[in-house]
Structure 1
Amino acid sequence: MSESPAERDKATFVRFHDAVNSGDLELIAKTIDEVVAPGLEFHAPVPTGATGREALKQVWAVLLRAFPDLRVAVEETIAEGDKVVFRNRVTGTHLGEYRGLAPTGRTVAYDEIFVVRFVDGRIAGIRGVVDVLAQLRQLGAPPFDGPPPAAGPGRG
């Protein structure tokens, strides 16, 4: 019995997820090159102006510099058609600069949801919702006045 496209796509994302949780930037970059389409459409509140695969690589470099023990726990997975949705709980200790905040040593825990689109077994699109406000509050960031900052390329 052959694996369904949805099962293949979930397995591809699990491979990416396992690389991310390794904390090894070289392995993460290698896995991104193998499982992510070159023209990745990446829409999430990420601290980078890059696009495609490079945006994803830069996100993990920034996150792991700031939170070297970062862990992403997948709490729910839903697959339908060419998309897989993941609801995650992220934890880590703030030991490096992040979004202009000096290291605090504080632990953060926040939620995120990603809709991942696949083409021919590779990740071709990612749309994410990350609870950045909870993340920043836990780090002691000052309250924000006015509307949220405008989304830039690859940020929303």
Structure 2
Amino acid sequence: MSFFQAFPDNCTHMENLFEDGEWAILEWSGTGTFVGEFAGFTPTGKSYTLRGCGFFHVVDSKIQFQRGYFDKLTWFTQIGIPITSESDGTA
């Protein structure tokens, strides 16, 4: 099941947007409720509030490169997903 099916009330808010030439940085916050299966985990009905940051290289009005960061431990803890080597991507 997709992220948007698992968290149908997902909402992302732009906190700050910075631009320097071909580079942009977006700081964001997001909320949602875990109501559908996600990554093999059963929904818990718990909500989350999360902050993150995205970096974009934009050339000719097209994103050429994107990288983002957020605190997965905080997210998983808030929605009740156990932190294991399988869920943190280190397996």
- Give me the TM-score of the superposition, normalised by structure 2: 0.85
Residue 38 of structure 2 aligns to a residue whose secondary structure is coil
Q: CA deviation at 1:150?
A: 3.5
* Pair 1:88-2:44 in alignment: no
Q: CA deviation at 1:78?
A: 0.8
Determine which of 45, 53, 58 is the counterpart of 1:113. 53
Q: Distance in 2 between matches of 1:91 and 1:100?
A: 21
Q: Which amino acid aligns with 2:10?
A: L
* Pair 1:66-2:6 in alignment: yes
Determine which of 135, 140, 145 is the counterpart of 2:75. 135
Q: Distance in 2 between matches of 1:138 and 1:101?
A: 14
Q: CA deviation at 1:71?
A: 0.6
Q: Which amino acid aligns with 1:126?
A: Q
Runs of 4 or more, structure 1, over 4 Å off, are none
Aligned pair count reads 89
- Structure with greater contact order relative to length (CA < 8 Å, sep ≥ 6): 1
Q: Distance in 2 between matches of 1:104 and 1:149?
A: 21
Closer/same/farther in 2, CA of residues 150 and 143 from structure 1, 3 Å limit = closer
Report % sequence identity: 29
Normalized per residue, which structure has more helix?
Answer: 1
Q: Which amino acid aligns with 1:70?
A: N
- Give me the TM-score of the superposition, normalised by structure 1: 0.52
Aligned to 1:3: none
Structure 2: unaligned runs, 5 residues or longer:
none
Aligned to 2:16: 76
* Pair 1:103-2:78 in alignment: no
